[in-house]
């Protein structure tokens, strides 16, 4: 098989790595890829949003199977373009990727099908949103830009004044662009967060091992929201009871709801859950693997990933048993100092050879680039240092040990990834 992966982050690196382990796969391409992905795949210089060029490439190279890693192309309808060309592709069509593409859509879906989530209202104008805040709201409260905003379109507002200003930030100043044409205002919840990834074939859903992300930039969950500074899997807080509740009220219910709406979902659904005192509730849906959740979940998956993805496309997922290793994994993101705001790029990186021959240790590249001088940084999140261990504590110690193996001048990381393990 010839496989094409669309994307350029750490998530796409681990997807490429898993694809390379499949005995079915002869050749892997990745568009646009990065320096690390270039070690397991041939990088192709086509952007993830250039659907026609990507489909033309896939036809010309006789690609057998394409995997879309990123949210933007999925929400933009890349799968529909590939299918129209008769190409086999893993990911939801545009009419299903809306599950991530519009928070208003996903909230209305959950309300209609009684899937537990925070109480909310949608607003199309700043006037209506402000009137609601003036008259009906309780604080703190959460404002969400409706559309895709790189995980940054969520404002938690402690007072009415903050919330009124937040409406202007999203809907008037358009800090998140057109994502802010519509706004969701929702109840503030408290509890632990868990990320649950799943494979879906339109009818059947199979849940992967749980994980937890660390979204804030600084230790102690301080600082700005980022794409994710580190993850661990499994989450010790994702208990049997939580799993049973979610199986009964959330997972299959979501797949059935999408089908009932005429939007059958094929691909990965990522459930962002909050474990509240009233039980688990859905914080958000994503229509793809999490990044850096994929790094800790996929390295623990025993299945041939290509088999599972093909079963999603062929609607035979009911015949697959997902299996995970009875161990743990931790990913610590090495970022450029200053991320997610201002940071320098193009800085030389050293130490990659330290990973050679080290089983259970991985350097999944996120923002890197191959130059004549060597590999240089090329983004805010640079590399996800990932390690396995017999349990979470061992995996965390291994991952932090390996963070010292790679160096670059403006290297920054959180030092408390997986600290919550100690409270479990």
Rounded to whole angstroms, how far apart are CA atoms 106 and 99? Answer: 5
Question: Of 116, 151, 228, 418, which lies in the binding site for ligand AMP, with binding defined by CB under 6 A?
Answer: 151
Instruction: Describe the strand order of the beta sheet including 2-7 as a list of residue ranges.
Output: 42-43, 27-32, 2-7, 65-68, 89-90
Does 100 bind ligand GLY (CB under 6 A)? Our answer is: no
Closest to ligand AMP by CB, 268 or 305: 268
Applying CB under 6 A, the span of 22-30, 79-87, 182-190, 329-337 interacting with ligand AMP comes to 182-190
Contact 42, 71 (CB under 8 A): no
Tokens of 384: 């996800």
Q: How many residues bind ligand GLY (CB under 6 A)?
A: 8
What are residue 31's DSSP bridge partners?
6
Rounded to whole angstroms, how far apart are CA atoms 73 and 69? Answer: 9
Window 284-303: residues binding ligand AMP (CB under 6 A): 284
Query: Which residue stretches of 300-408 are H helix?
Result: 305-314, 392-403
Residue 289 carries which DSSP code? -
3-state secondary structure of 66: strand
Distance set, CA 359 to CA 299, 333, 363, 408 (Å): 11, 19, 12, 23
In the list ligand AMP, ligand GLY, none, the entry touching 291 (Cβ below 5 to 8 angstroms by class) is: ligand GLY
Question: Of 146, 186, 201, 213, which lies in the binding site for ligand GLY, with binding defined by CB under 6 A?
Answer: 213
x/- mask, ligand AMP, residues 336-365, rule CB under 6 A, reads ------------------------------
Does 151 bind ligand GLY (CB under 6 A)? Our answer is: yes
Question: Of 293, 386, 413, 414, which lies in the binding site for ligand GLY, with binding defined by CB under 6 A?
Answer: 293
Rounded to whole angstroms, how far apart are CA atoms 192 and 210? Answer: 13
In the list ligand AMP, ligand GLY, none, the entry touching 261 (Cβ below 5 to 8 angstroms by class) is: none
3-state secondary structure of 158: coil
Nearest approach, Cβ of 381 to ligand AMP (angstroms)? 16
Closest to ligand GLY by CB, 180 or 290: 290
Residue ranges in contact with ligand AMP by CB under 6 A = 118, 142, 144, 151, 154, 156, 186-189, 193, 215, 272, 283-284
Residue ranges in contact with ligand GLY by CB under 6 A = 151, 213, 227-228, 286, 290-291, 293
């Amino acid at each position: 098989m010839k496989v094409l992966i669309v994307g350029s982050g750490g998530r796409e690196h681990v997807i490429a790595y898993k694809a390379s382990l499949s005995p079915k796969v002869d050749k892997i391409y990745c568009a646009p890829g990065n320096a690390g992905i270039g070690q397991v795949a041939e990088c192709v210089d086509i952007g993830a949003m250039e659907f026609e060029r990507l489909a033309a490439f896939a036809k010309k190279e006789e690609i057998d199977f394409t995997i879309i890693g990123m949210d933007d192309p999925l929400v933009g309808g890349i799968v529909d373009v590939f299918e129209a060309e008769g190409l086999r592709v893993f990911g939801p069509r545009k009419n299903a990727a809306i599950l991530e593409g519009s928070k208003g859509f996903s909230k209305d879906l959950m309300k209609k099908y009684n899937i537990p989530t925070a109480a909310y209202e949608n607003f199309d104008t700043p006037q209506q949103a402000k009137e609601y805040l003036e008259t009906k709201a309780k604080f703190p409260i959460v404002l969400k830009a409706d559309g895709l905003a790189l995980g940054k379109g969520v404002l938690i507002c402690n007072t009415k004044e903050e919330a009124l200003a937040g409406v202007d930030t999203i809907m008037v100043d358009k800090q998140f662009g057109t994502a802010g044409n519509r706004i969701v205002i929702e109840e503030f919840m408290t509890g632990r967060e868990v990320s649950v990834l799943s494979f879906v074939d339109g009818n059947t859903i199979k849940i992967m091992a749980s994980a937890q992300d660390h979204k804030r930039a600084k230790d102690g969950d301080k600082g700005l929201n980022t794409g994710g500074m580190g993850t661990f899997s499994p989450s010790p807080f994702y208990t049997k009871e939580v799993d049973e509740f979610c199986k009964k009220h959330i997972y299959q219910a979501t797949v059935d709801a999408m089908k009932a709406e005429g939007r059958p979902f094929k691909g990965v659904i990522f459930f962002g859950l909050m474990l509240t005192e009233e039980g688990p509730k859905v914080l958000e849906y994503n229509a793809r693997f999490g990044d850096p959740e994929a790094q800790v979940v996929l390295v623990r998956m025993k299945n041939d990933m290509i088999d599972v993805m093909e079963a999603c496309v062929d609607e035979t997922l009911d015949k697959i048993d997902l299996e995970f290793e009875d161990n743990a994994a931790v990913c610590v993101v090495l970022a450029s100092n200053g991320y997610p705001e201002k940071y320098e790029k193009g800085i030389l990186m050293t130490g990659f050879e330290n990973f050679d021959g080290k089983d259970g240790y991985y350097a999944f590249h996120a923002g890197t680039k191959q130059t004549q001088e060597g590999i240089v940084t090329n983004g805010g999140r640079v590399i996800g240092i990932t390690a396995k261990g017999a349990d979470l504590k061992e995996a965390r110690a291994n991952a932090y040990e390996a963070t010292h193996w790679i160096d670059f001048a403006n290297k920054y990381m959180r030092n408390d990834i997986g600290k919550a393990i100690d409270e479990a």
